[in-house]
Structure 1
Amino acid sequence: MRILISGAGVAGPVLAYWSNRRGLSPVVVERTSAPRVGLGGHAVDLFAPAVEVTARMGLDRALREARTELDTMALVRPGKPMVEIAFDALAPAFADDRHVEIMRGELTTMLHAATRDDVEYRFGDSVRSLHEDVDGVEVTFESGSTRRFDLVVGADGLHSAVRRLTFGEEGRTLHHLGGYLAVFSVPSHLALAGRTVLYNGVNRIAAVYPVKQTGRARAVLVFRRTGPGPRDHRDVAAQRQFVRDTYAGEGWEVPALLDAMEHADDFYFDSISQVRLGSWSRGRVTLVGDAGFAPGPAVGGGTTLAVVSAYVLAHALAEARGDHVAALAAYESRVRDYVRTCRDAAPRAMRDGIPSSRAHRAANTAALRLLPRLPGWAHRRLLARGVSSALSSFTLPD
């Protein structure tokens, strides 16, 4: 089976690896001109099922050596000492040895290295159109070339071109949760040393954490704002201004972070939106990861979903022995409840994590101080509905 995979981020290479291992013929097309390698992006969490997939790829040791080694959150309280809490006290899944936090750029570097010798990559190109007939899909690329495939998989993220070509414009498939995310590098002048320092405003938060490999730090700004944001998701100038306007007047280190943002060459911005589809397959086209069911950047565990869904799809394709209809039905059946559980938890995470008032902010601070002191049964019950628990709940096929 000839498979075109659009997207070389996380889901794409995982699907390519396991498809190739199972005797299929994957080709990966990626619009960027070179592999997405290095230390870019933000810290992402891989929970137990995703860590198991990467371990089966032989990446366990490399993954653990690349851990961010962030173990503590320090909560800023103006005029008062910071409140510090261990991450593994925030959720049982963080204490699990099968949880790994890693910089996204390091993860994509590992995944590309694991596939580049066995899988065909086409960089600097993307899908322009899809024409399906009874025998396959004719794909026209932006470069002008055409090729035929038995299956096309969109692994091209929240703003998926494959999803748009197959299911219609973004307005029909994206559901905005009312929040936004900005990530960029900043000088590491705070005493971070394994700590994520978190500042809570009303309807906005700012976090800074160290990147051990570079000696610098990452700033993460997550905020809730009514009204439309920047219309073009590639208009960086408008995005920066939107962030600056939102955080105007905030205290702590926020003004310095905004100044650093203006000069950051790795600035990333997007809305916190979910992809909601009744089915993420149509004919010989299907979607994995954020392209099909993004739970929401920064709140829903999209990286774990990307790894798991890619693995399950490859497994279903191999089991079906060329029957794409049976394979896609099995794929959706196996991951649907998992996707729904994680996606349903994401709005709660954003609602609870971004204070909507001063009273909400005070309540969050009090809860964080109380959490480590709760008895084990109360702690587990309180956190059982969280995103991390949902993400750890999937059992992989062999």
Structure 2
Amino acid sequence: MTSRHAVVSGASIAGLSAAFWLRRTGWEVTVIERAPSFRDGGQNVDVRGVAREVLTRMGLFDAVKAQNTTETGTVLVDESGDVRAELPSDGPDGATAELEVLRGDFARTILDHLPEGVDLRYGETIDGVDDRTVTPSTGDAVTASTGADLFVTTSTGHTLHADLLVIAEGVRSTTRDRLFGDEVERNELGITMVFGTIPRTPSDDDRWRWYNTVGGRQIHLRPDNHGTTRAILSYARGADLTSLDRAEALAEVRKRYADAGWEAPRVLDGFDTSDDVYIDHLTQIRMKTWHRGRVVLAGDAAWCVTPMGGGGASLALTSGYVLAAYLAQQPRDMESALIAHEKWMRPLVDDVQKLPPGIERFAYPQTRLGLTLRSLADKAMTSSLFAPLTAKLTQVADTDQQLPEIEPAESPADPD
């Protein structure tokens, strides 16, 4: 019997989780990544809910925990930096989770523990996909045998013959758009977020400090385990800056935060020299199906939940396990396996994507009155009476479903 071959496009959490579990269950795996090398850095992510069990099954719980950012809690501060409320951080899934790590550290841990034999190719992208299981005239998937052909052509001129393509390229996946086209629904939330790493100062502590001010503006400062501080500027009702070059975009952000107060000048100056500034216009990705033929989407490419919903890293990690498990259980019926994967994951994704009504007005007050009402609401929500209810807002990727069991490694072998 010949082992089946999977091509995974994207080498962050979703792609690496899929590569880890597909290889663990006997697949030959090739991972291609557009970046010239592994991308370290990034902002905080966390491992919550069922993803904690997935991490345990990977044998990586302690390794990820050792990468903790050192953050111990979450506080809301005023313009002077004084604490006006503290969010619940009790238990593993509090506002500051037990497993609170940087995206790059998390992905690096998975990368360093990939099973032997995973082929990693950096500086490469997908130029074309010829899936013989897709009807060329309509683009609709048809029933296919396990011997169906899938050819993936890359930017370096290679053609990879695969049995499965996993697209884990992120929210702006070009391969997804090429293959799924109009089926991709984009729900723009009207929120701009600017992320970056700035020098740590003596005034920084081990808490996530969160500041709101008028004009729908937020400032966040969070400790990391690398001797620096992770900063976020987030605001509502702004233009999409993602098409601008860095200098133009940061100039617009500086105008927006000119009178924001608190640590705004420090963050703006820090971003000017930071080497990892990232600007995002938050957009949910919604799709009726995450697969077609032998192509399956994973992570933000399939269901970007955005930081407003949270839990993106946990969903990405879990998806890789669930996908591999069902493919291992049904090696001769890929369509049924991909349907099972989607059926298991869909409730978790839908739960996170359903944002509370009016969340933008509450999270990003525009006026002084709105800010005062927000402050009163924060005090009520963090009081001893309502704190248990507030704590539930951070419980994402939580499910009563049992994880599917992984079958022996020989099960994915091609019977032909």
The TM-score normalised by the length of structure 1 is 0.89
For residues 177 and 362 of structure 1, the distance between their equivalents in structure 2, rounded to whole angstroms, comes to 23
Pick the aligned partner of 1:35 from 29, 33, 38: 38
Contact 2:285–2:300, Cα closer than 8 Å, also in 1: yes
Distance 1:28 1:316, change over 3 A: same
Aligned to 1:71: 72
1:34 Cα deviation after fit: 1.2
CA offset at residue 271 of structure 1? 1.1
Q: Which moved more, 1:69-78 or 1:127-136?
A: 69-78
Residue type at the aligned position of 1:380: P
Q: 1:51 to 1:327 in 2, by over 3 A?
A: same
Q: How does 1:91-106 map to 2 (within 5 A)?
A: 93-94=93-94, 99-106=98-105
For residues 328 and 340 of structure 1, the distance between their equivalents in structure 2, rounded to whole angstroms, comes to 18
Alpha-carbon distance, 1:45 to partner: 1.6
Higher helix share: 1
Unaligned runs of 5+ in 2: 134-147, 406-416
- Taking structure 1 as reference, are residues 382 and 249 closer, same or farther at Cα in structure 2, changes over 3 Å only? closer
Measure how far apart 1:79 and its partner are: 5.4
Q: Mapping of 1:225-304 within 5 angstroms?
A: 225-226=237-238, 228-230=239-241, 232=243, 235-297=245-307, 299-304=309-314
Query: RMSD of the alignment, in Å?
Result: 2.4
What is the TM-score when the length of structure 2 is the normalising length? Answer: 0.86
Q: Secondary structure at the match of 2:346?
A: helix
Number of the residue aligned with 2:108: 109
Asked if 2 retains the 8 angstrom alpha-carbon contact of 1:185 and 1:267, the reply is yes
Q: Distance in 2 between matches of 1:111 and 1:153?
A: 17
Deviation at 1:33, TM superposition (A): 1.2
Instruction: Quote the Cα distance in structure 1 between the aligned partners of 2:23 and 2:81.
Output: 56
Q: Which runs of 5+ in 1 are unaligned?
A: none
CA contact (8 A) 1:296 1:302 kept: yes
Partner of 1:151: 164
Indicate yes or no: 2:200 matched with 1:201: no
Q: Deviations over 1:160-195 (max 9, x none)?
A: 12211211279x532211101111111212522211
Work out which structure has the larger RCO, using CA pairs closer than 8 Å and 6 or more positions apart in sequence.
2
SS of 1:209 mapped into structure 2: strand
Question: Are 2:191 and 1:179 aligned?
Answer: yes
User: Runs of at least 4 residues of structure 1 off by over 6 A?
Assistant: none
1:115 is paired with a residue of what secondary structure? coil
Superposed CA deviations along residues 87-144 of structure 1, whole A, max 9, x for unmatched, are 416x983189x84111111101101101163311111101011111142211110111
Instruction: Give 1:163's aligned residue.
Output: 176
The SS at the match of 1:218 is strand
TM-superposed deviation, 1:358: 2.5
In 1, Cα distance between equivalents of 2:13 and 2:358: 25
Number of residues of Structure 1 aligned to a counterpart in Structure 2:
386
Mean CA deviation greater in 184-193 or 255-264: 184-193
- In 2, distance between residues paired with 1:61 and 1:92? 14
- 2:317 matched residue in structure 1: 307
Map 1:314-329 onto structure 2 (within 5 A): 314-329=324-339
2-structure distance, mates of 1:75, 1:360: 16
Q: Map Cα deviations across residues 294-331 of structure 1 (whole Å, 9 max, x no partner).
A: 01135432111111112111111111114221111111
Please report how far the alpha carbon of residue 217 of structure 1 lies from its aligned counterpart in structure 2 after TM superposition. 0.6
